[in-house]
Amino acid sequence: MNQLFKTLLSIVVIFLIFFSCKEKLKEKKFNTKELTEIGSKNEEWSLVWLDEFDSDTIDSNNWNLQVLKAGQFNDEWQRYTDSNENAFIENGNLVIKALHESDTHGIDQYSSARLNTANKQSWKYGKIEARIKLPKGKGIWPAFWMLGGNIDENGGDTPWPQCGEIDILELYGTKHDAVVEANLHYADQSNSHAMMGAKSYKLDKGIFADDFHIFALEWDDKNIKWLVDGYQYAITSISQAERSEFHKDFFILLNLAVGGTYAGRPDTSTPFPQLMYVDWVKVYQNNQSS
């Protein structure tokens, strides 16, 4: 009899525990809206600037179109122009178009565009991201990157690499059309060029010319992180004294290079024109540190 009573008591206790847990689950569901509201108040990032390229022309309040001769940087073969043949708005995208203008493959046989926000828009720290569909092919070198606002190239008083450079993405078509790279360039304690060393991200499927992807940088006073489509694939500390460049204002650049010391050379296998599509560029500030 005692054994039967104990068994029945155990069943009752188990039932009460189950019922209590069920009620708690109901309570959690009941509070979902409240939790969502709390989460929205604690969002990490606030949007502070964007360009969605929804006008007919490139916004001159945001962007400069640099005019540069072929070979000025990295022995690249293209010249950069301010022509609407090389950079324009189409279907809500900024299009950077690299043209092959002769039957010869060599220096100054190509034109392209290099845009920057120098002396117009610059930031220290934050989240900087863009939705981009990249070009492909041997010798093709698109980039989404940043330079220190004090660089002498744009009227500042500091040469490269002392100004600092943040490469949010570079794609080298000669290496692999499914791989992008992140990097930092700066001056070390002997005032010589130093870099983090390229960190790469490879798509599981397809290449970057197949579709748009979101390339992002998260930057605070301690670290810089790189992400593709929300996946973080690289991080580096900027707390070292020799990385002091990365605690100043930087501006954004978008460009499409052809050839170059690091990019390899195009040949008859490289299709032209080459097109880089930018759907939008956004900059956020961190609410926790503002």
pLDDT for 42: 47
Report strand pairing: 78-80 vs 110-112. parallel
> Model confidence over 188-240: pLDDT tens digits?
999 999 999 999 999 999 999 999 999 999 999 999 999 999 999 999 999 99
Phi, psi of 189 (to 5 degrees): -65, -20
Domain boundaries, the chain: 2-41, 45-286
- In one letter, which amino acid is 134? L
The band of 287, judged by pLDDT with boundaries at 50, 70 and 90, is confident
Share of the chain above pLDDT 90, in %: 82
Catalytic residue among 165, 181, 218, 245: 165
Distance CA 57, CA 256 (A): 19
Is pLDDT at 14 greater than 70 in this prediction?
Answer: no
Query: In sequence order, what E strands does 206-273 have?
Result: 213-219, 223-228, 231-237, 250-258
- Tell me if residue 16 falls in helix, strand or coil: helix
Catalytic residue among 76, 129, 170, 181: 170
Active site residue 170: yes
pLDDT for 28: 34
Cβ-contact 98, 105 below 8 angstroms: no
**CATH architecture of the domain formed by 45-286:** Sandwich (2.60)
The band of 43, judged by pLDDT with boundaries at 50, 70 and 90, is confident
Active site residue 153: no
Is pLDDT at 179 greater than 80 in this prediction?
Answer: yes
- For 45, what's the count of Cα atoms within 13 Å in the CB-facing half-sphere? 16
> Model confidence over 139-178: pLDDT tens digits?
999 999 999 999 999 999 999 999 999 999 999 999 999 9
Tell me how crowded residue 193 is: count the other CB atoms within 10 A of its CB.
Answer: 12
Look at 97 and 262; give whichever has higher pLDDT. 97
Distance CA 102, CA 70 (A): 15
